[in-house]
Amino acid sequence: MEVPDEFTIVAKLNLRSDPNTINGSSDELAYSSKVQYLPPIILTCLLPKSYPSNIPPYFTVSVQWLNSTRISNLCSMLDSIWMDQPRREVIYQWTQWLQNSSLSYLGLDKEIVLGPYGIKYIGDRRAVSRSVSPDVDVLAIRSFNDERCRENFLKDIHECCICFNNYAGLIEFLERLPCQHFFCSKCMKTYSGIYVSEGTVNKLQCPDAKCRGMVPPHVLKGMLDEKEYERWEYLMLQKTLESMTDVAYCPRCQTPCIEDEDRHAQCSKCFYSFCTVCREKWHVGKECLSLEFHQL
């Protein structure tokens, strides 16, 4: 199902209800997300021997993102289409209507609110709702949308915002960054390699001038060779350790160690126990002379 631009899915979750209020008001948490594609409406048909001369196909309509009431409305419309042109093949018209007109028929031109959940519906047995819960349904819709967007991205031609050349997504482009910006593989490999060779990996961000999104490790691993990626991992570890105020390096083997409240640390590699101020062997019960100098 291809949806109109700026189409939104909304999931509402009631956190608690207050029985003391007249209407039983509740605290409600709403989640919304924009999508370009919805999982398919599944029309399953069984053709009787007398179709199409006497009776229409037996069918079910199954949807994950609609409740049974709305799906029943779709079933009724399929019946109406058959009644308007009896004794004619109708499955093609059904599928075209479901794909192109069902959303507007249900009044879902801009958004769809999932649910309600936990309500038993007794009605048209041909209406099959695959809706489970807000978290399951939202995850399924988002996953389907992301996969379809990725497939279309790989099929299309795109312009790299660094070199301004046009390439096919499947051949020359990396997957989109989490910030949704994308650049050709050649430019990104050169761009990333410069920061790794210079050691400024903490500045390795999306090349877009207005974006400061980080480049994920799995994207870097696909661009850098083995030695470059190992260097990136080492530099990132060093940058992280340097930013931690409770990390001290072992005087013997330079292994990073965690400092405790008494300015004491023990190496996990060589087991050397040392004072993080004077970097000498841990002196229990003795005042560290270097501490006085350090305080001065």
pLDDT band of residue 207 (cuts 50, 70, 90) is: confident
In CATH, what number is assigned to the domain containing residue 177?
Answer: 3.30.40.10
Number of structural domains, the chain? 3
Give the pLDDT mean for 54-71. 94
Tens-place pLDDT, residues 128-152: 999 999 989 999 999 999 899 888 8
pLDDT for 278 equals: 83
pLDDT for 195 equals: 85
Is the pLDDT reported for residue 94 higher than 90? yes
pLDDT band of residue 172 (cuts 50, 70, 90) is: low
90 shares its domain with 14: yes
109, 4 Cβ separation under 8 angstroms: yes
39 shares its domain with 133: yes
pLDDT for 24 equals: 46
129 shares its domain with 210: no
166 shares its domain with 179: yes
184, 165 Cβ separation under 8 angstroms: yes
Give the pLDDT mean for 207-219. 83
Let me know if residue 151 belongs to a domain. no
pLDDT for 66 equals: 93
Which amino acid, 292? Answer: E
Let me know if residue 150 belongs to a domain. no
131 shares its domain with 58: yes
Cα three-residue angle 224-225-230, rounded to 5 degrees: 85
75 shares its domain with 111: yes
The most confident of the ranges 74-83, 112-121, 187-196 is 74-83
Residue 239 neighbours by CB distance under 10 Å? 13
pLDDT for 216 equals: 83
Pairing of strands 157-159, 127-129: unpaired
pLDDT for 31 equals: 86
Which amino acid, 32? Answer: S
17 shares its domain with 126: yes
State the residue range of the domain holding 111: 2-140
Let me know if residue 56 belongs to a domain. yes
Cα 115 to Cα 118: distance, rounded to the nearest angstrom: 9
Residue 109 neighbours by CB distance under 10 Å? 11
Give the pLDDT mean for 101-112. 93
pLDDT for 28 equals: 65
Cα 92 to Cα 258: distance, rounded to the nearest angstrom: 69
Is the pLDDT reported for residue 115 higher than 80? yes
132 shares its domain with 118: yes
124 shares its domain with 228: no
pLDDT band of residue 21 (cuts 50, 70, 90) is: very low
Let me know if residue 154 belongs to a domain. no
Is the pTM of the predicted complex or chain greater than 0.75?
no
73 shares its domain with 48: yes
287 shares its domain with 197: no
Among residues 238, 194, 195, 192, the alpha carbon closest in space to that of 218 is found at 192
165 shares its domain with 201: yes
